[in-house]
Structure 1
Amino acid sequence: DVPELRALIGEVAAEQLERSGSDDPRGVSAALRVCFTRLMKSEKKFFVDQLNMLVKRISQEAAEGKDTSASNGELLLRLHSQYPGDIGCFTIYFLNLVRLEPGEAMFLGANEPHAYLHGDCVEVMACSDNTVRAGLTPKFIDVLTLCEMLNYTPAPSSSKILPAAQSQLDPHVYLYDPPVPDFTIMRIEIPASIKLYLVSAMDSASILLVIQGTAVGTSTAAASEMSLRRGSVLFVSANESISLHLSSPDGMLLFRACCLL
């Protein structure tokens, strides 16, 4: 229970959410919509005052050695230090906190709010010109559009995890194939024992990102050799293959974004 958040969304909305049972996903979804909309439409002075009260309370409890995990205290204080007075600090109470380990991935469908809090990741998204922000940003937040477009269907974080499947054609390739036709991700792990590796041709164009290792690449579509290292990005045309001549002692790690036609 976070009384400062309850003050922002109001007792009626809070009680509606509390009454919604897990066996009634539509009721939970409707209650979440009401609560989130009430939060986002609250007056700035009011939510800033409540946020300051929350931060002060959590800070005092942490200083006294109390457990603040029920209020996501550590995360709240970190976000508030990065985005003081930002309404996005309250949105953590509507979202799942997910920690991904190296090699793990998650898929988020359209209109599902999310935020990257720490670390590095490879993100691929479908073509879009309608990014709508919800907080933790100095940029404009279109509250009306945001509250109207979001998907409020509750789901456990485990349902968003996208497992990798080792390719049957190449044991060095792991596929992250989401339930949409727009894109697929490949993780390519080339061991140090391999000095020549062929990035196979595909029916679609793709983008190749080097995360680790060095190599010289050659291709029939390239006029000259390509020196590849961490941070290098290649556009690979459809039906084009690339030969990698590895020069690093630790192998290579690459990601490839493509479309499986």
Structure 2
Amino acid sequence: MERVERLICSVKNYDWGKFGPNSEVYRLYVANCGDLVVDSNKPYAELWMGTHGSGSSYIEGSEGKTLKNWIEEHPYVLGDNVLDKYGCDLPFLFKVLSVAKPLSIQAHPCKELAKKLHFRYPNVYTDGNHKPEMALAITEFEVLCGFVGLKDLQNILDSVPEISQLVDSDVVDRIANIDPKDGEDEVKAALRQLFTQIMSASDYVIVKALSQLIDRLRKKDELTSIEKLVLRLEPQYPGDVGLLAAFLMNYVTLKPGEGLCLGENELHAYVSGDCIECMATSDNVVRAGLTSKHRDVNTLCQMLTYKQGHPEILRGFNVEGSNGCIKRYCPPFEEFEVDHCDLSEGRPTTFPTVSGPSLFLVTRGTGTIITAGSSDEKIIKVGDVLFATAGIALSVSSNETRQLEIYRAGINSMFL
């Protein structure tokens, strides 16, 4: 059965989201949900597309039937390989994020830890799956991710006395005297000791250190990019330990079309901007800073990989047979990949056949979509979200006067 179903999707109004028309999530949600009255005075943070129970998508015109329920009734739409491996569910969750102020400094647990956390604290960790993820910038997108390299870390301890004074002197000395030849394990152990002491410090000590830091930075003539960021974030999260942790992290600004992979147990925090996000189907987050939500400092400090160095920036590669109109972003995770299709006025292209299901999101323009070998042409427009069954090839064309932009999420073709 080769079919394309339109979906009505769910939205999250987290307090870090952008408000009303300034939010890409708001713009797409309003277009997606049709006649539903939408309150523009709320923050619109995330648009969810998929089968996760915390933000279900629904089959349009089905009187409230979720995509997950529909798949359970028609399991063959997933394809044999996917059905055998993942059961009657999508192994990926597709999102749009609109970030006005930073999400928490966080990491997502590996499968083994996720199962343990879900068993012990099911109200906090709502499922037992891991959550590797990939973010693709729609607008300029700021991210804190991973830890800086050893040399930068040593410079930070020299130039940010508020951090050095916060931890034991032997920790500072250990890092200052590490030779890269000592090996990666030695560097990670020292970094773990430093980070754990910072994140575990009392609120009183943190507030005092931040007061000194902010006062010093405001008097400084020339600021580094991370110092400017900390001053920008301080009014949003006064007295938060995450402001100190930010100095230890890579500060990256993605341009539209660039992406970033974030593996399990990797420290990160989205700072601002709009992005497409795809991940394994999970909502597990271990937080420790820049948040008013539950913090699990011990778990976070124990679970991190403490990998150092600047992250790899993804720029995608052209999909064969798409006439240069489709770029694919293929992370090292088996559950998902993302295609970005950008068609100028009146131009056609074809999404190649894949042996698993796909979700399509139209973010710009209008056009048509048709199943290869079929005469059933559908008009598509901004905000449309479509579920396509396994084994289907779809041809798309933009309107003669409008650019058409589409994102597709599917199971990583390298693993199918």
What residue number does 2:72 align with? none
Preserved contact between residue 28 and residue 154 of structure 1 (Cα < 8 Å): no
The counterpart of 1:4, out of the listed 138, 144, 162, is 162
Q: Does 1:48 pair with 2:207?
A: yes
| Structure 1 pair 124–21 and aligned structure 2 pair: CA distance change class (3 A) | farther
Preserved contact between residue 211 and residue 254 of structure 1 (Cα < 8 Å): yes
The counterpart of 1:25, out of the listed 184, 187, 191, is 184
- Amino acid in the other structure paired with 2:319: S
Q: Does 1:155 pair with 2:309?
A: yes
CA deviation string 1:26-70 (max 9, x = no partner)? 221111100110011100111011112111111122xxxx11217
What residue number does 1:210 align with? 362
Q: How far 1:134 moved relative to its partner?
A: 2.6
- Amino acid in the other structure paired with 2:302: E
Q: Does 1:186 pair with 2:339?
A: yes
**Residue 35 of structure 1 aligns to a residue in which SS?**
helix
| Structure 1 pair 206–21 and aligned structure 2 pair: CA distance change class (3 A) | farther
What residue number does 2:325 align with? 172
Distance 2:172 2:282 in 1: 34
Distance 2:356 2:295 in 1: 36
Q: Does 1:235 pair with 2:387?
A: yes
What residue number does 2:223 align with? 68
Flag structure 1 segments of 5+ consecutive residues without an equivalent: none
Q: How far 1:116 moved relative to its partner?
A: 1.2
- Amino acid in the other structure paired with 1:214: T
| Structure 1 pair 56–232 and aligned structure 2 pair: CA distance change class (3 A) | farther
Q: How far 1:185 moved relative to its partner?
A: 1.2
The counterpart of 2:233, out of the listed 65, 79, 82, is 79
- Amino acid in the other structure paired with 1:255: Y
Preserved contact between residue 217 and residue 228 of structure 1 (Cα < 8 Å): no
Structure 1 residue runs of 4 or more that deviate by more than 6 Å after TM superposition: none
Tell me the matched-pair count.
251
Q: How far 1:182 moved relative to its partner?
A: 1.8
TM-score, with normalisation over the residues of structure 1? 0.87
| Structure 1 pair 58–11 and aligned structure 2 pair: CA distance change class (3 A) | same
Higher strand share: 2
TM-score, with normalisation over the residues of structure 2? 0.56
Q: Does 1:113 pair with 2:272?
A: no
- Amino acid in the other structure paired with 1:26: D
Distance 1:133 1:226 in 2: 42
What residue number does 2:174 align with? 16
| Structure 1 pair 248–110 and aligned structure 2 pair: CA distance change class (3 A) | farther
What residue number does 1:36 align with? 195
Q: Does 1:101 pair with 2:255?
A: yes
Q: How far 1:241 moved relative to its partner?
A: 4.0
Preserved contact between residue 216 and residue 227 of structure 1 (Cα < 8 Å): yes
Preserved contact between residue 325 and residue 349 of structure 2 (Cα < 8 Å): no
Distance 1:219 1:180 in 2: 28
Preserved contact between residue 21 and residue 27 of structure 1 (Cα < 8 Å): no
| Structure 1 pair 60–108 and aligned structure 2 pair: CA distance change class (3 A) | same
Preserved contact between residue 343 and residue 397 of structure 2 (Cα < 8 Å): no
Flag structure 2 segments of 5+ consecutive residues without an equivalent: 1-158
Q: How far 1:19 moved relative to its partner?
A: 1.7
Distance 2:266 2:278 in 1: 15
Distance 1:5 1:166 in 2: 45
Percent identity of paired positions between Structure 1 and Structure 2 = 33
Considering Cα pairs closer than 8 Å and 6+ residues apart, tell me whether 1 or 2 has the greater RCO.
2
Distance 2:292 2:405 in 1: 34
| Structure 1 pair 21–128 and aligned structure 2 pair: CA distance change class (3 A) | farther
Distance 2:352 2:238 in 1: 48
Q: How far 1:246 moved relative to its partner?
A: 2.9
CA root-mean-square deviation: 2.3
Distance 2:400 2:299 in 1: 49
